[in-house]
Chains A and B, each alone.
Chain A
Amino acid sequence: MSERSERISGRGLIRPIPDRDSAAWWARTARHEFVLQGCDACGTLRFPARVYCHACRSRDWSWRPVEPTGTIESWIVTHQPFTPGAATPYVVVMVRLTAAPDCVMYGNWYRDREPHPGEPVQASFTYVDEELSLINWRPGSE
């Protein structure tokens, strides 16, 4: 499931700065668990991590392992080096999650071809170090 990333070795990685709501999500991602918050009162899944359920305002929630799949909502190919040490071009995808269709996640895409609109994709974990892994996306057919 893990894949090394040429992006991470090839250009400066901007490390995420977790906040008090998100730190536990990043910790689980570092263990290669694909989880969303689920409301214990009404069942609504949510991402990014936050304390209140936006549907019923309950503060009771738990981590729910969900299917690590989605569909390509959109993508870009970046040519301008916006970050120091960026190895361009590179692809960023926006993925609509199968388990929570009103949630999107971002990630990189490392295939030789660009994604297709609506293409089914699966998450892969890119190991950076013990404290950090990133979720990236690849074709669902692989």
Chain B
Amino acid sequence: MTKRLLGFRDRAAVAGVGYTAFSKDSEVSTLTLACEAVLAALDDAGLEPGDVDGLATHRVGDSAPPSLVGPALGLRPPSWYLDQFGGGSVSHSVVGQAALAVASGVAETVVCYRAINARSEFRMGGTGRPLPASPEVQYQAPYGYVAPPQMYAMYARAHMTKYGTKAEHFGQLAVTQRANATKNPRALMRTPITLDDYLGSRWIAEPFRLLDCCLETDGACALVVTTAERARDLRRPPVLISAAAWGGGHSHLSSGSGDVTVTSAAELAPRLYGMAGAGPRDIDVAQIYDCFTYSVIVQLEDYGFCAKGEGGPYVAEGHTALGGRLPVNTHGGFLSEGYVHGINHIAEAVSQLRGDAGDRQTPGAEVALSTAQPGYVLAATSALILRKG
């Protein structure tokens, strides 16, 4: 296995990053958002639309597919494209699959994007939208159990029960990430908060309060993925894709539900680290999927940064803050920057490795981890390890 995986390591790179503004109401279509982010990423890379021969996205029936975005921008017919069904859990697999396409030679320049009006049109929180067509919904929806914050709250409670994880641990994570967002002009929420603000915020689904939950956001983000060789000749410092892994885990409703305090990341992490030839101690900065506070705490454990059950204290001791042992979600994360379903974590990892993250820069960052929704909602997950080129 290792030999083939080594053949993939560092063969592809992220050469460009593009954003739209983040807001509660973009007032434009997801097609427009996608086009704007794709063009911004190409401009960042110093490439032209005519250079693109692949497009990749993921969606849950809520956004513009490559078959619309390509013609809308007058791109040539793609050599390769990906229109992946799925939410945050597949966000990092989109970039991983683009890297595979580039490393294999099937495509040379792929733009990955995610474009959503997740506040003004299709609310991620579940309010008012049709229920997803999952066979497991029938066993949950009749009980009023329909939205991701409820599902994560259920698992968070189990973790609190088993390991003594506390509300204050969740709160410290929210406070820390907000402090990071104050240094990010792109962030939607830039007013500092205190632990008392957290504890005083209203209940959503106990044990979660409002400030445990990410921001339903309108916006788009795009990344240019090309060969490492080509990226070295482009405008910006290349960031190499050292490892990309996806898969792992079972739905927690299916037969086989074991310990609900362990996520799919625990299965995926050894494969990811093996592919990169790196381990948790080599990671300088991490962007960890924070749909909710708890999802960071459990992944700190499952990606091996602390012992199982120690994620809460790890955060409370300040290790994830800027300047800490492992700065996490340096842009403020989905809790405070905005939620583009995963891709903005990868974009921030790229910024940290380029060294252009300004006041929130992790000094000397050379290796970054970026992770997807760890599989609680639909089983599988995905993640990337990126390296300064």
Contacts and interface: CB of A to CB of B under 8 A. Distances in A.
Contacts of B166: none
B254 interface: yes
A103 B126 CA distance: 26
A96 B255 CA distance: 11
Given A76-B153, A76-B206, A78-B150, A48 B253 contact: yes
Contacts, number: 120
A134 B143 contact: yes
B142 A14 contact: yes
Contact of B146 (A21, A48, A82, A103): A82
Given A48-B136, A48-B254, A54-B255, A76 B154 contact: yes
Nearest to B162: A117
Interface string A75-94: 11111111110100110101
Contacts of B257: 96, 102-104
Nearest to B152: A76
B185 interface: no
B161 A106 contact: no
B126 A82 contact: yes
A113 B136 CA distance: 28
Interface in B299-341: none
Given A75-B154, A78-B205, A82-B150, A16 B142 contact: yes
Interface residues of A, number: 46
Nearest to A107: B143
Contact of A16 (B141, B254, B255): B141
Contacts of B252: 104
Interface string B133-148: 0011111111111110
Contacts of A73: 158, 260
Given A13-B142, A22-B135, A74 B155 contact: yes
Contacts of B74: none
A11 interface: yes
A127 B57 CA distance: 44
B202 A15 contact: no
B125 interface: yes
Contact of B145 (A21, A92, A102, A136): A92
A131 B261 CA distance: 36
Contacts of A124: none
B270 interface: no
Nearest to B133: A17
Query: Quick one: which of B125, B143, B203, B256 has the most chain A CB within 10 A?
Result: B143
A49 B94 CA distance: 32
Nearest to B260: A73
A111 to B, nearest CB: 15
B140 A102 contact: no
Interface string A1-26: 00000010001011111110110001
A92 B143 contact: yes
A69 interface: no
Contacts of A15: 142
A82 B255 CA distance: 27
B131 interface: yes
A138 interface: no
A69 to B, nearest CB: 17
B150 A76 contact: yes
Interface in B141-183: 141-147, 149-150, 153-155, 157-158, 161
A122 interface: no
Interface in A98-130: 100, 102-108, 117
B207 to A, nearest CB: 7
Contacts of B255: 44, 46-47, 54, 100, 102-103
B204 interface: yes
B205 A80 contact: yes
Nearest to A48: B139
B154 to A, nearest CB: 5
B258 interface: yes
B92 to A, nearest CB: 27
A18 to B, nearest CB: 6
Interface string B196-208: 0000001111111
Instruction: List the 3 shortest-distance A-B pairs measured between CB atoms, nearest first.
Output: A16-B138, A77-B206, A79-B203
9 contacts: A11-B144, A13-B142, A73-B260, A74-B157, A74-B161, A76-B157, A81-B127, A83-B144, A90-B144
Given A11-B144, A102-B258, 4 more contacts: A7-B144, A82-B125, A94-B154, A106-B145
